[in-house]
A and B are shown apart, each in its own frame.
Chain A
Amino acid sequence: MRSMLFIPGNNPGMLLNADVHGADAMILDLEDAVSPDQKDAARILVRNAVRALDYQNGKLVIRINPIGTPFFDDDLQAVVPLSPDYIMPTKVDSAEYIKALSEKLDLLEAECGLENGKISIIPLIETAEGIENAFAIAKADKRVKALFLGAEDYSADLHAVRSKQGDEILYARGRILNAARAAAIDAYDTPFTDVNDEEGLEKDASLAREMGFTGKAAISPRHITAINAAFSPSKAEIQYAKEVLEAIEEGKRLGKGAVSLRGKMIDKPVVDRAKRVIEDMLALGLGGDDE
């Protein structure tokens, strides 16, 4: 998934059009986008919307309230029967949190007649403690398929000033990314919160992609196109990847031990990167030589 769009859980208009903006995933939000006195309303509205609207364009993620709040169990009771692709627990700060959640999912999936492990987890890490425990969280349970950085709460927890260039979250980005990749799962970057700053968004998304993130969340549908573009392989990358793989094949045919391209040796990391680009290209249906 390149892009994940947040949809406030108590907003019927936005729920109605949740899957029309081109996002690879939609995050129906029962947490920060919903005031405490409307949690009950949002839970029922999200349930009805998912059942009636049968979202087809993109993965379904539902963000729930943190463990330890009076809303956590009610959220799970409402959300599991909907069989979303992912549940996004919030303020995740330890492996124990994920283990407790996974145990509850085991029980609820059985009650709902769902296959065990059907629902995956993308923990939202947004505290200093959570960042420190990122690898343990990533490895806590096989349901965890990605880590997601929430920079607004995290920078507040750090007592940092949140900035557009994001120097204050560089450590967290690196830490989350390293933890996720070490656990062989995906990593998602925090949303860019200035809805009107297209240039800032493009820079921020490019930085996240260059760092190695799988994709990025968005709080506005207007950000989806730029995020999808940033996390898709460019024509030049695709062309280079093809040349790398062709050069490797040619080298094998000629029995060469070492192969070079454009004056540079092609070693294993270059080949691995080229394969990933081609995989992404095929997964996104970006086509081949005529592009």
Chain B
Amino acid sequence: MEIKKAAAAGTMESNDAMIMIEPGDGELEIFVDSVVARQFGKQIERAVMEVLSQYEIEDAHVLVRDKGAVECTLKARCETAILRALKED
């Protein structure tokens, strides 16, 4: 699916994550900003990637600002951001 506009979901409160998604430049780019990026950066990226794959998103910029979210939260915020970005105005 094609991301048509920029959208975000989540908050900057602890145990949460703010995920922003916008149209890409022909490929998928994921940037993770997290206090635990060194320990869990790969897992965070994998969780987000999984949701992007479910929605067949292959061209987007994704920024994950993580505040200690568990996987189910990361995935929920990513899915919400995607659905908002896919929605027609």
**Which chain A residues have a beta carbon within 8 Å of chain B's beta carbons?**
11-13, 16, 40-41, 44-45, 47-49, 51-53
Q: Mark B63-74, 1 if CB is under 8 A from A, else 0.
A: 000000111110
Q: Is B84 an interface residue (CB 8 A)?
A: yes
Chain A residue with the shortest CB-CB distance to B13: A13
* Chain A interface SS verdict (over half): helix
B9–A41 touching, CB < 8 Å: yes
Could you write out 19 A-B pairs with CB less than 8 Å apart? A12-B15, A12-B16, A13-B13, A16-B15, A16-B70, A16-B73, A40-B80, A40-B83, A41-B9, A41-B76, A41-B77, A44-B80, A44-B83, A45-B73, A45-B76, A45-B80, A47-B76, A48-B76, A52-B72
Minimum CB–CB distance for B79 against chain A, Å: 5
B9–A12 touching, CB < 8 Å: no
Minimum CB–CB distance for B10 against chain A, Å: 7
Minimum CB–CB distance for B3 against chain A, Å: 17
Which B residues lie within 8 Å of A40 (CB)? 80, 83-84
Which B residues lie within 8 Å of A11 (CB)? 13
For chain B, the count of residues having a C-beta within 8 Å of the partner chain is 18
Which A residues lie within 8 Å of B53 (CB)? none
Chain A residue with the shortest CB-CB distance to B78: A44
B15–A44 touching, CB < 8 Å: no
- The complex places the Cα of A12 from the Cα of B13 at a distance, in Å, of 9
- The complex places the Cα of A41 from the Cα of B79 at a distance, in Å, of 9
Chain A residue with the shortest CB-CB distance to B17: A12
Which A residues lie within 8 Å of B15 (CB)? 12-13, 16
B16–A13 touching, CB < 8 Å: yes
Minimum CB–CB distance for B65 against chain A, Å: 14
Which A residues lie within 8 Å of B72 (CB)? 48-49, 51-53
**Which chain B residues have a beta carbon within 8 Å of chain A's beta carbons?**
9-10, 13-16, 69-73, 75-77, 79-80, 83-84
B73–A12 touching, CB < 8 Å: yes
Which A residues lie within 8 Å of B83 (CB)? 40, 44
- The complex places the Cα of A47 from the Cα of B14 at a distance, in Å, of 20
Q: Beyond the given A45-B73, A45-B80, could you list 14 further A-B residue pairs with CB under 8 A, ordered by the A residue number?
A: A12-B13, A12-B69, A13-B15, A13-B16, A40-B84, A41-B9, A41-B77, A41-B80, A44-B79, A48-B72, A48-B76, A49-B73, A51-B72, A52-B72
Best-surrounded residue of B13, B72, B84 (most CB of chain A within 10 A): B72
Minimum CB–CB distance for A42 against chain B, Å: 9
Chain B residue with the shortest CB-CB distance to A52: B72
- The complex places the Cα of A13 from the Cα of B67 at a distance, in Å, of 11
Which A residues lie within 8 Å of B80 (CB)? 40-41, 44-45
Which A residues lie within 8 Å of B69 (CB)? 12
Minimum CB–CB distance for B36 against chain A, Å: 15
Which B residues lie within 8 Å of A48 (CB)? 72-73, 75-76
Best-surrounded residue of A16, A40, A48, A53 (most CB of chain B within 10 A): A48
Chain A residue with the shortest CB-CB distance to B16: A12
Which A residues lie within 8 Å of B84 (CB)? 40
Chain B residue with the shortest CB-CB distance to A17: B15
Chain B residue with the shortest CB-CB distance to A47: B76
Knowing A41-B76, A44-B76, A48-B75, the reply to whether A13 touches B14 (Cβ < 8 A) is yes
A52–B77 touching, CB < 8 Å: no
Which B residues lie within 8 Å of A49 (CB)? 72-73, 76
Knowing A12-B15, A12-B16, A13-B16, the reply to whether A41 touches B10 (Cβ < 8 A) is yes
Knowing A41-B9, A47-B76, the reply to whether A52 touches B14 (Cβ < 8 A) is no
